[in-house]
Chains A and B, each alone.
Chain A
Amino acid sequence: MGSTEQEVKQDGSEATQPVREIGHDEYDPIGTLTLIALYFLILISMWFFMYFVEFVGNDPTVVGMV
């Protein structure tokens, strides 16, 4: 990561100014990828749980007329 560090004045309590500027090409959103991958795993596992355990296990179910 070749971020260009920039010294910015700190006004005490909360910094609203960036301490460095990060451009598009040097920005690597690895944290976002990690969080979103976690979310994906939760979604997939919860979906199969809801469908095959909670739903299919909640017999009787409406079936096609024979």
Chain B
Amino acid sequence: MSTFVDDFPAEAKVVRSSMYNAFVALAIGALMGILQTLYRTDVFHFISAEQYYTVLTAHGVFMVISFTIWFLVGVFAWAVISSLDRGVEDLRFTWAWFGFMTVGTLLAAIAIFGGFMSDPPEVLGSELSADVLFTFYAPLEAHPFFYIGLVLFVVGTWLAGADWFRSYLAWRSENPGERIPLPTFMVLTTMIMWYIATLGVATSILVFLLPWSLGLVDTVNPTLTRTLFWFFGHPVVYFWLMPAYLLWYTLLPKLAGGRLFSDPLARVVFVLFLLLSTPVGIHHQYLDPGIAEGFKFIAMTNTMFLLLPSLLTAFTVVASIEHGARQRGGEGRLGWLKALPWKDPVFTGMIFAGLMFAAGGFSGMVNAGMNINYLVHNTLWVPGHFHLTVGTAVALTFMAASYWFIPQLTGKQLVGRSIALVQVVLWFVGMVFMTNAMHRTGMLGVPRRTAEPWYDGFEYAGNVAEHNFQIALGGTILTLSILLFFVVILLTLLRGSKGGVEGSSIPEPLSGPDHSPAVIDNLKLWAGIAIVLVIMAYTLPLASIVERGGLFGPDGMRSFPSGNPGFLEYTSLFVQMVIQNATEVIFR
């Protein structure tokens, strides 16, 4: 049995490079994470209160946009290529989307890190900074580079999806009538969901925010851009999660020594995510004025049914693992748990990730419950929740999976297996401390996204200091865990001996694809239904928002920071810069 790099060396390089980019983002994001953890728990202030928001923006963008999505394109490329057992159609195209994503990341990074300068320079006529956080709610305004960077990055993911659809169509023409291999099915359904979802953010940026940041239009409607953000902002959490699910469904049963319990149910789960991920975004706006309670209730109902695919996944994945344990000789009602390969960092990391996701699922139910949102909205409870989901279910799965992928992608054996095991356990322990305390302080009303959540006029009704200690302790353990992660990765890359890596083949499911009706593989049908659901869920709310606040908002709306150049000034600066650079390049 051969490794991925043996079979597809050129493709392995793209996958590897994507994952390295993810690791760079993870390193930067982690550094930002510990800086803000120590700041807001009042343990140590390495930065100023104003810089806190630059750090927070960088932590959010690097972790949940760069790290997650770079890793995702790596996993998805691997999944499509290996499950169709064919290389990409055109390697130049593959590197093209890689290039788009890279340039996009760099532009956004430049805009964000400009915020660290005490006096950011003027670039293209406006101050180079983007202290707008991951959500960039208008009328807070970022440098145009931030918006352009996000657009290029998203366009890169669109092209990546096109690459995978191209592979699929080429495979389909050679294999008519065959069932789509499960990993490819998961990638394609997720990408359809992503195409639909990113229409929201693309519209928000290209039609409203970018022209506004360039001074082409004077105002925006903050509720509209906010709603378009969440049109994308909720499905994006499933975009992060789907590669983790893909690994739980495919890799985890194999590592446990078993087989996937049910291929048909796995497909049903991904179809449900495609259908339900997008028409739910308004649940992030339960406490927004200007949106009718009825729309909020509909969004809640959809959201609650979105629990279903995750709950089904819990059963299928655990049953697949139990199958492995019993095949390995495990006995008894729960005694089989002892027969699992707990010393394998890949397995243990993913199991702990799944365990934390079970807890995160609960706090997610609370977030999704319309009126109970008054209790938790924008409190530290919410970051507590998503550090369980994206911060552990996704991030820990990715880190654990890296210990499997890097050997597959380099042909080198993993070095520091026991360090890796300690690393995944530390991540779990650190997150238990941190997220537990975050949920608890959130219930006391401690706000999220706040540099100094302590006030002159009142005291919280609870022991915030003790919780802060737990948050700081958790954050420190997590930082240690990240350091160990990089030790293992670097040791493997530098010292790993070639050869002897086990093959990447995935065992056949217990209940195979032929047990499901063929209609499940009808991607056009599901895409059509998904679009209809989105239209049903969003037409009336968006129409009402535009009718209330106008397409470009009321006249009295200003920009913060304001003082952008007019379009002509901008264009002339841009042309000057292009000419200058061109002459330098030509006459160098």
**Interface residues of A, Cβ cutoff 8 Å to B:** 3, 14-24, 27, 29-32, 34-36, 39, 42-43, 46-47, 50-51, 54-55, 58, 61-62
- Interface contact A55-B375, CB-CB below 8 Å: yes
Nearest CB of chain B from residue A6's CB, rounded to whole Å: 9
Q: Is the CB of A27 within 8 A of B326?
A: yes
Q: With A20-B327, A22-B327, A47-B365 given, is the CB distance from A36 to B337 under 8 Å?
A: no
Q: Which of B307-361 contact A (CB under 8 A)?
A: 314-315, 318-319, 322-329, 332-334, 336-337, 341, 343-344, 358, 361
* Least Cβ–Cβ distance between A5 and chain B, in angstroms: 9
Q: With A and B bound together, what is the CA distance between A53 and B341 in angstroms?
A: 41
Q: Which residues of the partner chain A approach B314 to less than 8 Å between Cβ atoms? A: 36, 39
Q: Find chain B residues with CB under 8 A from A55 CB.
A: 371-372, 374-375
- Quick one: closest B residue to A13, CB to CB? B343
11 A-B residue pairs with CB within 8 Å? A14-B343, A19-B328, A27-B261, A31-B332, A32-B315, A32-B322, A39-B314, A43-B362, A50-B366, A51-B372, A55-B374
Do B366 and A27 have beta carbons less than 8 Å apart? no
Decide yes or no whether B247 CB sits under 8 A from chain A.
no
* Interface presence of B140 (CB below 8 A): no
Contacting residues, chain A, for B362 (C-beta < 8 A): 42-43, 46-47
Give the docked Cα–Cα distance between A54 and B369 (Å): 14
Question: Is B257 an interface position by the 8 A CB rule?
Answer: yes
A34 touches B510 (CB 8 A): no
* A23 to B323 CA separation, bound complex (whole angstroms): 9
Evaluate whether A50 and B372 lie within 8 angstroms (CB atoms) in the complex, with A27-B510, A31-B334, A39-B314 already known.
yes
| Inter-chain residue pair count (beta carbon < 8 A) | 80
How far, in Å, is B130 (CB) from chain A's closest CB? Answer: 34
Are B327 and A29 neighbours in the complex by a CB distance under 8 Å? no
Q: Does B159 contact A (CB under 8 A)?
A: no
A16 to B329, CA, bound (A): 12
Q: How far is the CA of A30 from the CA of B30 in the complex (A)?
A: 40
A sample of 12 more A-B contacts (CB under 8 A), given A30-B333, A54-B375, A58-B375, is A20-B329, A24-B511, A27-B323, A27-B510, A31-B322, A31-B325, A34-B333, A35-B334, A43-B365, A47-B365, A51-B369, A55-B374
A-side contacts of B329, CB under 8 Å: 19-20
* Pairwise interchain contact A18-B257, C-beta atoms closer than 8 A: yes
Q: Please judge, given known A-B contacts A18-B257, A50-B372, whether A31 and B343 are in contact too, CB under 8 Å.
A: no
Contact A29 B319, beta carbon cutoff 8 Å: yes
CB pair B375–A21 under 8 Å, yes or no, is no
Residue B443 is within 8 A (CB to CB) of chain A in the complex? yes
Point out the residues of chain A lying under 8 angstroms from B372, CB to CB.
50-51, 55
A18, B369: Cβ atoms closer than 8 Å: no
Distance in angstroms between the alpha carbons of A56 and B371 in the assembled complex: 10
Alpha-carbon separation in the docked complex, A30 to B257 (Å) = 18
Q: A35–B340 Cα gap in the complex (Å)?
A: 15
Residue of B with least CB distance to A46: B362
Q: Are B358 and A39 in contact (CB under 8 A)?
A: yes
Q: From known contacts A16-B341, A54-B443, A61-B374, infer whether A35 and B328 are also in contact, taking CB-CB under 8 Å.
A: no
- Write the nearest CB–CB distance from B282 to chain A, whole angstroms: 18
Interface pair A16/B257, CB less than 8 Å apart: yes
Of B325, B334, B375, the residue contacting A34 (CB under 8 A) is: B334
A24: nearest chain-B partner, CB-CB: B510
Mark each residue of chain B from 371 to 406: 1 if its CB lies under 8 Å from any CB of chain A, else 0: 110110000000000000000000000000000000
Q: How far is the CA of A26 from the CA of B533 in the complex (A)?
A: 40
In the bound complex, CA of A54 to CA of B334 (Å)? 33
Smallest CB gap from B363: residue in A = A50
B418 to chain A, nearest CB (A): 12
Which 3 A-B pairs give the minimum distances between C-beta atoms?
A18-B327, A29-B319, A24-B510
Q: Give B52 Cβ to nearest chain A Cβ, in Å.
A: 28
B385 shortest CB reach to chain A, Å: 12
| B374 adjacent to A18 (CB under 8 Å) | no
- Is A31 within 8 A of B333, CB to CB? yes
Give Cα A50–Cα B362 distance, bound, in whole angstroms: 10
Which residues of chain A are within 8 angstroms of B261 by Cβ–Cβ distance?
27, 29
